[in-house]
Amino acid sequence: MNAKKFLFTIFIAVISSILAVVIYSIFFSEPNRVEIVQADPVPIKQASIPQVTMQLPDLTQAAEKTVHAVVHVKTKSRGREYDSNNPFYEFFFGPGSGYQQEPSPVMGAGSGVILTSDGYIVTNNHVINGAIEIEVTLNDKRTFPATLVGADPTSDIALLKIEGDSFPFIPYGDSDRLKVGEWVLAVGNPFNLTSTVTAGIVSAKARSINIISNRNQSYGIESFIQTDAAVNPGNSGGALVNQNGELIGINTAIASRTGSYSGYSFAVPVSIAKKVVGDLMEYGTVQRGLLGVGIREVSPELANELDVEIDKIEGVFVLSLSENGGAEEAGMQVGDIIVSVNGELVNSVPELQEQVGRHRPGEIVNLLVIRDGRKKTFDVTLRNIRGTTSIITSNSNDLTLGATLKELSDSDKRRLGLRSGVQVVELNEGSLKESGVKEGYIITKANRIAITSVDDFKRVVTEVKEGLFLTGVYPNGRVVYYAVNPQE
């Protein structure tokens, strides 16, 4: 009996437990249950997935076409002379009798671009400036002595010549058609590493960084192509080429706080380099065509400074006019805003310099200007640095102003106590003779620039805009100054 009661009790307990679970699941379970549902898979071929492909340009052909036409330029220049300036010796034996240390030669290096099969090479002026020897090494390891045909500090372009034929060369491209964002190659010899190619894009055009003016203490043409192709010391004078392997610029400078590449490089556009090279080949010196205006970019700051009303920020503002200059004779006025040259828009000083710099003295350029809100056109005849329309040649007496000059020997310098200078050994009719200069006069400075060679003197004369002030000494020690008018 007791066993039956025990089994009955267990049966009731089991039934009660089952009922309790069922009742709880119906009335007390959580309503927000998470259900996992397996979705039918979508075939990949039916899915709408955008296809993104990034195709970089193939620059191998451009590199192959150009690397053999870029050369390594090595230079040797005179070092600086150091005098002991011993007052004991100078008291008894006169100025310059102290001990003088013979200067050690200074070696330099850069790059150059072969332009013709007969060996004309373009490079930067600062690569060969002051060089007494120039050597060129081709990519195939052949080495040639190079002759300086001519140089132009105002554009930082120089032209060399090596003897031979059948040299590889790079054809000219069109830098005017170059677009911001376009891929370019820089070919050169950085850190004496020959035949180095780097790639980048054009970051900007018509850049001015004032590097040419700072180097030459003169008014330079700056309308650089800015790229992010890596350029380092030794690349100067090398090639900037487009994807077709055409020359579009001469690598010239970098923006850097360390002296090495740190983001941007700058190249003289071939539109300028081509004209300079042509002048140097034909005349031996560059023919600068000048408008005869002082200019500044249009800006709100300019308007406030000059208290003038400017309807639109565009063009280049005429601040001044040269007396008897081309712009003045054409009827232009101070306050005119130049907006185009021969139909090409100009919105900055570098763009105006680049357009005018393509022309020679005597040529006519058409300017579109804005005056008092109205557009006017002027045909301006460009002048040379002396205010005339004639061509200046380097083999004429023009650049020596009617004189035959010679460089001082080291013994002459020591005897006279001079560090530099060129001597007038013969005078013909010209500006020096008219100014009272006598034969034997030693020119030590011209317009406060030290003269160490005849080329230095010619370069200063080429850059003269108004007058020439000479500092010098005669062999008897008498210091004399002359004001010279270099006008023809």
Lowest mean pLDDT: which of 51-55, 114-118, 169-173?
A: 51-55
213 is catalytic: no
Whether the per-residue pLDDT at 59 is higher than 80: the answer is yes
Spatial distance between the Cα atoms of 7 and 13, rounded to a whole number of angstroms: 10
pLDDT of residue 397: 47
pLDDT band at 42 (very low <50, low <70, confident <90, very high): very low
72 is catalytic: no
pLDDT of residue 14: 65
pLDDT of residue 394: 57
pLDDT of residue 321: 92
Q: Which range, 11-25, 105-119, 245-259, has the best average confidence (pLDDT)?
A: 105-119
Whether the per-residue pLDDT at 6 is higher than 70: the answer is no
Q: Supply the pTM of this predicted model.
A: 0.70
Tens of pLDDT, residues 231-246: 988 999 999 999 999 9
pLDDT of residue 51: 58
- Domains, the chain, in order of start with CATH, read 60-161 (2.40.10.10), 175-283 (2.40.10.10), 293-381 (2.30.42.10), 397-484 (2.30.42.10)
Residue range 337-366: mean pLDDT, rounded:
94
Residue range 288-300: mean pLDDT, rounded:
90
Whether the per-residue pLDDT at 303 is higher than 90: the answer is no
Amino acid at 285: T
Residue range 187-207: mean pLDDT, rounded:
91
236 is catalytic: yes
Spatial distance between the Cα atoms of 487 and 474, rounded to a whole number of angstroms: 25
pLDDT of residue 23: 59
Q: Establish how many alpha carbons lie within 13 A of residue 325's alpha carbon, considering only the half-sphere containing its beta carbon.
A: 19
Lowest mean pLDDT: which of 46-50, 51-55, 377-381, 472-476?
A: 46-50
Q: Which helix (H) or strand (E) holds 482?
A: strand 479-484
CA-based nearest residue to 215, from 477, 470, 469, 459: 459
Q: Which helix (H) or strand (E) holds 137?
A: strand 131-137
Whether the per-residue pLDDT at 89 is higher than 80: the answer is no
DSSP state of 447: T
The catalytic position among 111, 152, 156, 456 is 156
Is residue 189 a contact partner of residue 109, using CB atoms and an 8 Å limit? yes
Spatial distance between the Cα atoms of 110 and 137, rounded to a whole number of angstroms: 11
Whether the per-residue pLDDT at 36 is higher than 70: the answer is no
Tens of pLDDT, residues 246-270: 999 999 988 777 777 778 899 999 9
Percent of the chain with pLDDT over 70: 79
Percent of the chain with pLDDT over 90: 47
pLDDT of residue 35: 40
Tens of pLDDT, residues 114-164: 999 999 999 999 999 888 899 999 999 999 999 999 888 889 999 999 999
pLDDT of residue 31: 46
The 10 Å CB-count burial string (b at 16+, else e) for 287-312 is bbbbbbbebebbeeeeeeeeeeebee
Residue range 164-191: mean pLDDT, rounded:
95
pLDDT of residue 169: 97
Lowest mean pLDDT: which of 29-38, 63-72, 469-478?
A: 29-38
Report the alpha-carbon angle 421-425-431, nearest 5: 85
Amino acid at 155: S
The catalytic position among 97, 126, 152, 340 is 126
Amino acid at 194: T
More confident residue, 74 or 13: 74
Residue range 282-289: mean pLDDT, rounded:
86
Residue range 6-12: mean pLDDT, rounded:
66
pLDDT of residue 217: 41
Within 8 A by CB and 6+ apart from 280, the residues are: 149, 150, 151, 152, 158, 159, 286
pLDDT of residue 429: 64
Tens of pLDDT, residues 379-407: 999 998 767 888 776 554 466 787 878 88
The catalytic position among 97, 175, 208, 236 is 236
**Burial class of residue 343, CB neighbours in 10 A (0-12, 13-18, 19+):** exposed
Name the token pair of 173.
């491209």
pLDDT of residue 322: 86
Whether the per-residue pLDDT at 215 is higher than 70: the answer is no
CA-based nearest residue to 420, from 119, 96, 137, 175: 96
Whether the per-residue pLDDT at 453 is higher than 80: the answer is yes
More confident residue, 90 or 183: 183
More confident residue, 345 or 105: 345
Within 8 A by CB and 6+ apart from 429, the residues are: 402
Measured between alpha carbons, how far is residue 476 from residues 404, 411, 450 in Å?
20, 16, 21
Q: Which helix (H) or strand (E) holds 415?
A: helix 410-416
Query: Mean pLDDT over all residues of the chain?
Result: 82
